Amino acid sequence: MRIGFVVNPIAGMGGRVGLKGTDGKVAEARRRGAEPRAPDRARRALEAVAGRDEAGQHDIELLTWDGAMGADAARAAGFEPTVLGSPDGDDTSVADTERAVAAFVDAGVDLVMFVGGDGTAGDVAAAVEGTGTPILGVPAGVKVYSSVFAVSPEDAAVILRTFERTERREVMDIDEDEYREGEVNPELRAVAHVPVAEELQSSKQLGGGNVEALAAGVAADIRASGKTVVLGPGSTVGTIKAELGFEGSPIGVDVWRDGEVIVLDATEADLLEVLDPDADNVIVVSPIGGQGFVFGRGNPQLSPAVIRRCDVEVVASPSKLDTIGELRVDTDDPDLDAELRGWTKVRTGRVERRMLKIV
């Protein structure tokens, strides 16, 4: 396996000295006595990769950048890497990372492993955009909100050695100056191909940023689908309605088709009138926080007759799902309830989904 390996050697330096990040604060971090964090975590990841080789010989072809951007850690872990280039100066930059990753892609690597934080993740994702090259992060930053990182350096080694397929996951970042003022507003920077693995961390999307990313993805799919879409009540789906460009009924059900609102605050009769049973229809609904009810609480307009004419897409923020654990239905139709029960995909972001069970 051919791996591109790059380290942001200053990632995470500001954390232990109270700077809550290193963006624009490298000199201040050093003045406060900060020590580099990323090189040690890079070495740990590569030592774990080597340690998983039972035959004692590396079947990993490691391509990297010189010095603290990868080669030092690789040699410390026992690898003899192919060094494709070097940073322009003593202090590495975004341009150095981008050049390194571009060189890895040109060399045909199977995966780019990087060591850094959310800023590094965004830089790496931008450099591989459109190539299909998967990426995997070794966490070394202060924040690490993105879901492209392994839980630990050692987990990154497990993933690298065992993954068989990839999925698209979100790269998030926040404004560090706002973060230092106590404001946390994660924003989507990119979507990247990442190995499918249990050892990946979940996205730490908080507040409006995570719902906005979800709403943007769902709204884009709705516009492209040509389907009749029934949008349920609640703030999460309300954000989707706003993304589509209209002020929906906050505790009611609205219907969208071909770029326009067909019905506002629809009744069951309204829904049955506009939903062609032989056409493609979809219900977008979000579970009630704390309870987990998808149908049967707060949306009686979505009757069994309406539900049977539609596909169902459940959407929710990761933080809401963390308070639920499982989903529930109570449609007044036991047969329909039985049909709906089981594992379902809940959309949690622009492209991400989580499996949850309807009980």
pLDDT by residue (tens digit) across 92-137? 889 999 999 999 999 999 999 999 988 899 999 999 999 999 999 9
pLDDT by residue (tens digit) across 131-164? 999 999 998 876 677 889 887 888 899 999 999 9
Query: How far is Cα 110 from Cα 174, in angstroms, rounded to an integer?
Result: 29
Mean pLDDT of 224-243: 93
- DSSP one-letter string for 48-66: HHHHT-TTSS---EEEEBS
Percent of the chain with pLDDT over 90: 55
HSE-up of residue 315 (Cα within 13 Å, Cβ side): 28
Instruction: State the DSSP H helix or E strand holding residue 143, giving kind and residue range, or none if neither.
Output: none
Percent of the chain with pLDDT over 70: 87
Query: How far is Cα 174 from Cα 178, in angstroms, rounded to an integer?
Result: 8
Give me the pLDDT at residue 222, please: 95
At 282, list the tokens.
């979809």
Give me the pLDDT at residue 57, please: 43
How far apart, in Å, are the Cα atoms of 165 and each of 94, 194, 199? Answer: 29, 8, 14
Instruction: Name the pLDDT band for 242 (thresholds 50, 70, 90).
Output: very high
Instruction: Catalogue the long-range contacts made by 248-252 (C-beta closer than 8 Å, 24 or more residues apart).
Output: 251/298, 252/301
pLDDT by residue (tens digit) across 38-83? 999 899 899 999 986 554 445 899 999 999 999 999 999 999 999 9
Mean pLDDT of 209-216: 82
Mean pLDDT of 204-213: 58
Instruction: Name the pLDDT band for 19 (thresholds 50, 70, 90).
Output: low
Please state whether the predicted TM-score (pTM) of the whole model is above 0.75: no
Give me the pLDDT at residue 147, please: 85
User: Which domains are delineated in the chain?
Assistant: 2-204 (3.40.50), 209-358 (3.40.50)
Mean pLDDT of 338-355: 91
HSE-up of residue 222 (Cα within 13 Å, Cβ side): 29
Q: What is the rounded average pLDDT for all residues in the chain?
A: 86
